[in-house]
Homo-oligomer: A and B are copies of this chain.
Amino acid sequence: MKINSNYLNLKDNYLFADVAKKSSEFAEKNPTVKVINLGIGDVTLPLCPEVVKAMQYAVLEMGKKETFKGYGPYQGYDFLRSEIKNYYARRNVELDLDEIFVSDGAKSDVSNILDVFSKENSVMVPDPVYPVYVDTNVMDGRKIQYINANEENDFLPLPDKSIHSDIIYLCSPNNPTGAVYNYKQLKQWVDYALDNKAIILFDSAYEAFISDDSLPRSIFEIEGANKCAIEFCSFSKTAGFTGVRCGYTIVPTELTFEGNSINNLWFRRQSTKFNGVSYVVQRGAAAVFSSEGMNQVKENINYYKENAKLIAKVLTERKIYFVGGKNSPYIWFKCPDGITSWEFFDFLLEKAYVIGTPGSGFGKNGESFFRLTSFGERTDILNAAGRLKNVL
């Protein structure tokens, strides 16, 4: 039996392990110091009451013969997909229920979608990048081209018409940078994809953090996108579902390549290799879209966004270049005096007792940049902001 030898080409990424190691070494040497962690990529606020209520009720239903649910529909229950359809309709994006696939999370879908594409396609990913886009393609042996996201383009790279690519990854609001594409910029990507007969894999996991109405929250707000794009979204950051596990993927019925419907291929993939999402979880996800649910999750998002604002304020005052922090939970800034990301990590930990994430861990263009997140407690954020102000 032979293994998939592409796995041997995967690079180990010790970013978060190294951060954890350095942090615990510091804590050991300085037991009385209160270190504040602004490196967290996970939500900290609990599920909102509407979601809890819906999940409680669903668990009870599962315990009674009359209301028990066995295997559910592969694509997800209509009660949830109708809510997602309505959610998109509010932004004037019309979807059919058949175009909506519910899953256990955007990470699963953004990875598994590659099953239906040939290994011969070339792939374009921005640098810095969410490592999953790279690793999943290395596992398949696809050729990867990087495009530079940097200070020059405010970490929002635009298509280079001289380069051809078949599969394009875009993430907006971006992880790790927090930068958000506007309509005009996304239109350029859609046009490029159509010209190149390429597909855009659009990761909109952080769309709920966009409050600026002049910015698109879905690629399908762009004309032509339904002929070249798939969108991956998630309840993880929208409603604190990182431990509940639910996401959804939009595959337009008009999306065809070589005469084949990608929607059909994806349905075939999911119905063969997947058996749907827990009924209890789907009931929780549907509750997010009720008017009370929407208000409650928005309150949590606003809490995180207010945190981001407090950090961003310090950087603005100190005239430090940054992106994100506005329509995103992430703040991505330039390390002062041209020092490296890891040098700044040490500096911040030792001088301000604040932990963040070295940008170089996300790709070569991340060198000399640094990421802070807003998923912490308000009091910690206020303290951290004060400390940052003192050392920057």
Question: Contact: A108 with B273, CB < 8 Å?
Answer: yes
Given A2-B120, A70-B43, do A276 and B111 touch, yes or no (CB 8 Å)?
no
A104-B104 in contact (CB<8A): yes
A83-121 vs B, CB cutoff 8 Å, 1 = contact: the mask equals 000000000000000000000110110011001111111
Say yes or no for A31: interface residue by CB 8 A criterion.
no
Copies in the complex: 2
Quick one: closest B residue to A138, CB to CB? Answer: B272
- Which of A60-68, A151-159, A343-351 makes up part of the contact surface? A60-68
Residues of B within 8 A of A132 (CB): 272-273
Closest to A104 in B: B104
Answer whether A279 and B244 are a contact pair too, CB < 8 Å, given A139-B272, A272-B132. yes
Segment at the interface with B among A45-53, A173-181, A332-340? A45-53
Contact B1 A257 (CB under 8 A): yes
- The answer to whether A116 and B281 touch (CB under 8 A), given A47-B63, A63-B52, is no
Chain B residues with CB under 8 Å of A120's CB are 2
CB distance A197 to B1 under 8 Å?
yes
* B3 lies within 8 A of A262 (CB): yes
Proximity string of chain A (226-270) to chain B, C-beta cutoff 8 Å, 1 when within and 0 when not: 000000000000001011110000000000011010100100110
Q: Which residue of B lies closest to A109 (CB)?
A: B273
Bound-state CA distance A72–B258 (Å) is 40
